[in-house]
Structure 1
Amino acid sequence: MITITSTQNPHVKNVIKLNDRRARDEARRTVVEGAREVGLALGRGVVPVEAFICPELIDGPAAETAARHLVTIGQTGMSEVFYVSPEVFAKMAYRGGSGGLLLVVAYRPARLDDIQIRGVPFLVIVEEAEKPGNLGAVLRTADAAGVDAVIVPIPPGSRGTDLHNPNVIRASLGAYFTVPAVAAPSDEAIAWLRAHDIAIVAATPAAETLYTAADLSGRVAVAVGSEAWGLGEAWLAAADVRVRIPMSGQVDSLNLSASAALLMYEVVRQRGGAGEQGGRGAGEIDS
């Protein structure tokens, strides 16, 4: 394999360009860093467009296993795989501590109609997450709670939250690859939920019903909005039930990912525990 030692190499420059959302959207590609994240991507059958390995930074069995896997992929010609120097890797890495592994991968091709509905569906709606790390944290919790799919609405006149931001992938610890996630216009997402008889449970401080008092054991999609503005009017109007999380302090909002976690695990509690929900087999996305 080729070793890249110059930060001016065209492959390196192309990776750096993917720090910008516009460049990501045009190329329909994003960046994955870290041994755990890379390992989960490869384990789910993701074939990278390009992969970069910095031998000097490889640390631990997980990173070594992933690196060997990438070398094999490179040898088969399925992907371009390069060795890079520590200086080059530092230039490309979106964040520090990436363990010497970096992938360029294509966006996940996912639409609402790709979500397979079987059993009793359990979905999460995340509208206008202000920070990529919050959305990544929601995906991480969704993986643990057995959520079937996460829908990221695109409000009118907005590009919506960037589902493919490298920080989303990093904060999710790789759950970006294990939890089906779809970005779709709000009106289309609401119509899809209606067509599949999935109740919308909207979290809002103005609700009278506590989230623990609502029936979340059926076909539900729990919806949360940004800390600053909450859920948009479209989702509040479409809600079958509105719920609130009790707050006794002086701060007027919870972190989005914390709110989502409370709601997700209330669904788990009401259904008798994650092991009895049926798992993500109820809502996998075809790739």
Structure 2
Amino acid sequence: MPTDPRDEITSVTNPRVKALVALRRRRIRQDQGVTLVEGYEELDLALTAGVRPTELYVCPDLSAGDPRAVEARAAELGAAVFRLSRPAFEKAAYREGPDGWLAVVPDVETDLADLPTTGNPLFVVCGGVEKPGNLGSILRTADAAGVTAVISVDPVTDWGNPNVVRASKGAVFSVPVASCDTAAFLDWLTGRGLTVVATTPDTETYVTGLDLSGPTAVLVGSEKYGLSADLLTHADARAKLPMFGRVDSLNVAVTAAVVTYECVRQRMAADS
């Protein structure tokens, strides 16, 4: 198998191509402690966030140059660089219309106990959120809003899911993420001084009526079932968004964005 970046993998049955395809499966990713990042912008953000890829696959026929020298940066960090022909890369790629950049990187997840809680932290907690696209969108908001970390409670999918990475535009590498079950999360909350706010339509309190300027954990649930009874019970407050139409809820990623930026607004007002 090639180790020199000038060599090119052309066969769609090459062992490296097969290994990349296998990493689409959660069990394989978790067993190896790695995940995939595909796309030039996503890879650039990952490198900027300090990720050290182990392997980089580039397809010259698909990649439109390298203005930020991502390939050189990855190689300097110790990544083995491989060239793939277009058929081989399209076989390995998990998205339609790939741009010729694909890397294997270490698992993105942080242990719950290692999440920072000093200062004035803001956490977004996803209870049973099932769609990778929603988790990715929540991460993009978290990155933009300066959220401390995003926690997935009773996760249905893993943070290394290629569609989470894609939907987050690489923000999964810039925002600390963790996963745990409900019991572990509630235990972690003890003594951390966080105001826990559960979003739910089953309340009369609007999110704008709460003080979200201090250390806060915002809980959002799955679109089908909402938050579990255990999470709702242990919340310090329940809040909803003003809704004036016939639909009684928003997409979970939109809800998370609106509430997160209400937290940001209040914090900025408190600092002014």
* TM class, shorter-length: over 0.9
Alignment match of 2:178 (pick from 175, 182, 190): 182
Residues 95-141 of structure 1: per-residue CA shift (max 9 Å, x gap): 02432110111212511111122211111101222210100000000
Alignment-derived partner of residue 84 in structure 1? 84
Change (3 A) 1:192 1:71: closer
Tell me the equivalent position of 1:70: 74
- Among residues 37, 59, 63, which one is paired with 1:58 in the alignment? 63
Q: Find the partner of 1:27 among 22, 29, 32.
A: 32
Q: TM-score, normalised by structure 1?
A: 0.88
The code of the aligned residue for 2:190 comes to R
Query: How far apart are 1:72 and its partner, in Å?
Result: 4.2
Read off the aligned partner of 2:101 and give its amino acid letter.
Answer: L
Which deviations, in whole Å up to 9, do the C-alpha atoms of 1:193-249 show, x marking residues without a partner?
A: 222111110000101100111111111100000111001111101100000112222
User: How many Å separate the matches in 2 of 1:220 and 1:256?
Assistant: 18
Q: How many residues align?
A: 267
Q: Which residue of 2 aligns with 1:191?
A: 187
Identical-pair percentage: 45
TM-score (norm. length: structure 2): 0.92
1:30 Cα deviation (Å)? 1.2
One-letter code of the match for 1:248?
Answer: F
Contact 1:147/1:179 (CA < 8 Å) preserved in 2? yes
* Equivalent residues in 2 for 1:65-214, closer than 5 Å: 65-73=69-77, 78-154=78-154, 160-214=156-210
Amino acid paired to 1:31: L
Match of 1:221 among 214, 217, 220: 217
Q: CA deviation at 1:179?
A: 0.5
1:70 is matched by which residue type in structure 2?
A
Matched, 1:230 2:226: yes
Does the 8 Å contact 1:19/1:94 carry over to 2? yes
- With 187-196 and 11-20 compared, the bigger mean Cα shift is at 187-196
Cα distance in structure 1, aligned partners of 2:102 and 2:157: 23
Deviation at 1:56, TM superposition (A): 1.5
Q: Which runs of 5+ in 2 are unaligned?
A: none
